[in-house]
Structures are given as structure tokens and as C-alpha cells.
Structure 1
Amino acid sequence: MRHFTLTQLRYFAVVAELESMTQAAARLLVSQSAVSTAMAELERTLGAQLFLRNPSTGLKLTPTGRRFALDLKGFLDHADSLFESAYGAAETLTGELTVGVFSPLASFRLPAILKAFEATHPGVDVTFLEADLASLQTALREGRCDLALMYGHGLGSGFSSQVLERVPPHVIVPEGHRAANTPGQEIALKDLAGEPLILLDLPHSREYYESLFALAGVAPNVRHRFAGYETVRSFVAQGHGYALLNQRVYNDVPYSGGRVVPLRLTDEFPPSEVMLVRLESTLPTRRALAFDEICRRLYGATRP
């Protein structure tokens, strides 16, 4: 039977985060020799090398060490819950939680989610990592965020997900466009063929929008490409083209002034799925599960 201590594991978690024995010792308020000895004993007990030690490049995690660090986060959280339950405080959550969020989604429900979460769990320090879909998958794999609020476009293997909402695509055109006063405020994508398109150009989102044009049998006339949701809306409002989007902004006046007119699409296109995603191979922390609970309540989703 292999024996290691919680102290060794907690030391390792900090060293793995900082990749520095010196900085870890300073944060833990112990001597550097105590941290170094604990890491050597942990590696000996596990029979595996967790760090690469090089005087010129410093301390780096080995692939084994990186996997161990990912698995350890949930284990330490559950160890804390055992301690709390012994003192009748199992419902009190403390510590840090990092949530990834897809940039165009950040301004929609996330502020309300955080407000509800902080009201329920004031002891948890929540930080956000805002990025595109591809970068969020990388951040989850590297353990830089506990879970992510994102679309499911291009989601690779090794992740578990909870669908919160399905959002159909729609079109926005500038005020005064020939389709702006269409009865029923709807249009087919082919009716915009040849007109300049302002494309929301983000990894996986771009491919999703391109697939919709392919389904409609339309070759898009891309005039401008932007990574910013509000930039796309602003260019449309100023008459530079139309855009294909998902999340509906209920204020139709963008930063640039002017006005955009949203139109429903009559095409039968697949919606974008807003979901919470986490790494399948790691045990979710109680903080992550609590955040999941708040999201599902505000989005009205249920467990699968």
C-alpha cells in the first residue's frame, strides 16, 4: 500500500501551480527545504517523477505531474468537505473557482449568474477566463479553469457537458435595409445572397456559420471579419453589410450609433447549444458543482 500525506498533496498543488519551490514555500509560509523534502518523498512514494528540475529553465511539471495535478484538485476539495462536515459546516463553500467563458457569451447571463452565486456562496472567490472556444478547450485540459460556459461547436473528446440553452441563429440588417420591414420580421438566408457579410470570425464559431451557408446553398460574400460581437453589430448598424449571429441583443443600438434590425431565419438551421463544460477525467469540485447548480437554475435546464 502506498502512503502519502495530505500535507504533501497540498504542497504539491501549490508547487504545481507556481512551478517554483521558492514561491510555493513563501505562499505556504514554510521553509523551502520543507517543500523540497515533501516533493521528493511524494515522488518516491508514487514511484513517478512529477517535476523536471533544470537550473537554467527552472521547475516544470512532467506529463505525469500535470495529470496528477488535474486529478488532485477535486480530491483536495472533497477532503476539505470531509473536514467541514465534521464541524457541521458542510454547506459552507470557500476557496477559489476559475470559470472559462466564451467571449460573446460573457455579457449576457454571466453577470446575473455571478450575482446569484455570490449571494449563495459568498466565501468563494470566482475569477473568469474569457476566450474563444478553441482556447477554452485548451484551458480546461491544462487545468487553468474548473469549468467553462461556452457553445458546443467543435467540442473535442474527453469533456463532459450540460446543455443549458439552445439558441437558433438569426440575421441582423441595418435600419433602412430592404428586409427590415419584412412581414413577420423573417427572411431566408438565400434572400441575402451576394450582399456583404460582416462575419463573427472566431475559431469554431466561424465554422458553424460557414456550415449554415452551406446548408442554404449560399456562398457568403464576406466583406469584413471581426472577433468582437459588438464590433460586428456596429458595422452592420452603419450599413456595411449584414451579419449572422446567435445570441439576441435586446438593445438594437450598438456602440457606433445607428440601429440593427434582427430577423428570424425561415431556414431549418441547427441551433447553438450553450453549455457548461468540464474535463471528463477530473472529479468536479464542490465549488464547480455549486456553480453548475446556479447556472442550471437561471437557464431553466435540468440534469440529463
Structure 2
Amino acid sequence: MRFTLRQLSYFVAAGETGSVTRAAEQVNISQPSISAAISHLETEFGVQLFVRHHAQGLSLTPAGQQLLKAAKGSLRSMYELYDVASAAIGTVAGPISVGSFRTFTPLIMPEIWQGFSAEHPDVKMTVTEGSEADLLEGLRMARIDVALTYALHMTPDMDFQPLAELPTYAVLSAAHPLADREQVLLSELENTPFILLDMPLTRQYFLNILDQSGVSPRIAAETASPETLRSYVAAGLGFSLMSVRPRNMSAPNGLPLRYVAIKDEFPLMQVGLASLKEMRRTSVIDAFEAYCREQITTGALPGMAP
């Protein structure tokens, strides 16, 4: 065999992202290394794998599409060797690619990553953050093995293991007249401008909450960044809704925030681990799920309030 599994993984990254630049970012390697791997495989197999579009990325050829499917299967088989070796020596070892929902990635993922890696030093863990839609696509395309996300938009092809239930809070600036309340009805905030978290699937969930409460929001700003949203709210530009309440009540701009419980009755948001049903579970995934369950259900993570 005159090619390496590493070259194969670089090809898979390029095929899934459609871009040498994004592939390099995904596998944390230089762009020339990605290009060299693709060129080597094209020479080795005697086929063109991609059509190169100037400034517009890559498109897989029919031969490239077939090889991509086979390459992903080969890499999955390679990962299974880690399970065999781990079982033989009684340790957990091998790679795991974890996806994490963007709103709570900075709050809990650093501690999960550090703690899990310390407990299982032979595991190589990578983390990708994104919206719910990004994570579901990543699971289906086998870019990630498991995703820490909400149960809200799970589809029949997904397995979901719940870890915790979270209420939705009204996020207010410390100067808002209702900021010192323990609870608030959403109808009491109807005259306050609304800051919308504009991520696929998420935006509609929060708009549905307001609609169910009979509130027609006056949207003052939309952003896909949770950090920007908190800074807008803290500056007094409006209120927002979030289902994660960090212990640090300051926004990135240094201004204080208040997370006020909502009186309106809504189902709690389930946080858990999603994976593709047809994908074989490895001992690393099982160990990661067990670790997350222990940390999240016991409230051991400093970035998330109990």
C-alpha cells in the first residue's frame, strides 16, 4: 500500500468540507499538506478526485465520491482496531471527534475536554462547535462521532442519551426594571426590544416560545454569536432567551447580566449526547458518555449553574 491512513483522512476532510482551507482547519494541518495528500492519492489511483474551482473550493468527481465513501469505511475499520487493543490491555484508547452546541461550548466543554483527557490519556479527542443543524449534519457525514446538544430536533436516524434538563431563562441587563425579580412572565417583557439568537433551528425555538406566550417580539438585533448576544443585552439594547445560565453573570463586555426564571410553562430543554444509529459505538464513545453523565448530572462543571 503506497499511501497512508493520514493521507486518506486528509482526503476525507477535503471531500466533506469542499475546501482545502477548511479541511486544513478541521485536521489542524497546513494547506499544502492537504493538497499534497490529494495529489498523491490521485497519482496512486490514477483518477481525478476533485474538480478545482478558482476561489470557490473543490467538487468531488464521480470517482472521488466513490473513493470518499470507501475511505470513510476504511478509517472506521481502523478505529475498531483501537477497541480490540484497548480490550486486550484493559484501557480506553483511540480517537474521538466530539461536536458541541455553540451556546454551551465555552461554559462546559473546556472542563469536559481537560477532565476526560486526564482520565483517559490514550484517547485523542478533537472538538468541533456549531449549531444544532451543523452537528446533525456532522454526525450524518461522519465528521463527528458524538454531539453534545439539545434533544429538540432529533430525527429517527439519531440516538439520543439525555444527561440533564434545563429551563429557559429571560436574559436581562442588570439595569432592567425587572432584573431583580425571581420570576417574570414573558408578556411583561413585550415592550422591551428582543435580541434573537440567529442559529438554524434555535431561532425558531425561541420565536415559538414567545408566540405560545402571546408575545409579538420587537426584534432589535439578530446574531449567531451567544457572546455578542449577551453583550447586547448587558448594554441595555433588549432582552433575550437562553437555556444555559452560567455562574459568571457578566457579559463579554464586562457589564452585568441577570438570568430570570420564566413563569410561563414550557417543557424543559433536554441536554444529552447524540450519535448516528447506524454508526458502531466504540469503547471511547462509551467512556466519554459515562464521563459526561457523571460531570453534568452531579453539577461538577464550574461553567454551568446547577
Q: Counterpart of 2:249 in 1: which secondary structure?
A: coil
Number of the residue aligned with 1:3: none
Deviations 1:63-121 (CA, angstroms, capped at 9, x unpaired): 66555555555543333433454xx4142413x22111111111122112112211121
Say if 2:50 and 2:64, in contact at 8 Å, map to a contact too: no
Number of the residue aligned with 1:286: 283
CA distance in 1, matches of 2:250, 2:190: 25
Structure 1 residue 176 displacement after superposition: 2.6
CA gap of 1:188–1:56, structure 2 versus 1, over 3 A, is: closer
Q: What value does the CA root-mean-square deviation take over the aligned residues? A: 3.1
Say if 2:5 and 2:75, in contact at 8 Å, map to a contact too: no
Q: How many residues align?
A: 269
Q: Counterpart of 1:162 in 2: which secondary structure?
A: strand
* Structure 1 unaligned blocks of 5 or more: 1-6, 38-51
Number of the residue aligned with 2:8: 15
- Asked if residue 146 in structure 1 is aligned to residue 120 in structure 2, the reply is no
- Asked if residue 186 in structure 1 is aligned to residue 183 in structure 2, the reply is yes
Say if 1:81 and 1:90, in contact at 8 Å, map to a contact too: no
Say if 1:75 and 1:283, in contact at 8 Å, map to a contact too: no
CA gap of 1:117–1:253, structure 2 versus 1, over 3 A, is: same
Number of the residue aligned with 1:78: 80
TM-score using structure 2 length: 0.76
Number of the residue aligned with 1:93: 93
Structure 1 residue 11 displacement after superposition: 6.1
Matches within 5 A, 1:1-304: 15=8, 17-18=10-11, 36=45, 53=48, 66-70=68-72, 72-85=74-87, 88-94=88-94, 96-182=95-181, 185-300=182-297
CA distance in 2, matches of 1:211, 1:275: 22
Say if 1:11 and 1:35, in contact at 8 Å, map to a contact too: no
TM-score using structure 1 length: 0.77
CA distance in 1, matches of 2:186, 2:51: 58
Give, as a single letter, the amino acid of the residue that structure 1 aligns with 2:115.
A
Q: Counterpart of 1:112 in 2: which secondary structure?
A: helix
Say if 1:198 and 1:224, in contact at 8 Å, map to a contact too: yes
* Structure 2 unaligned blocks of 5 or more: 15-32, 53-58, 299-306
Task: Determine which structure has more spread, i.e. the larger CA radius of gyration.
Answer: 1
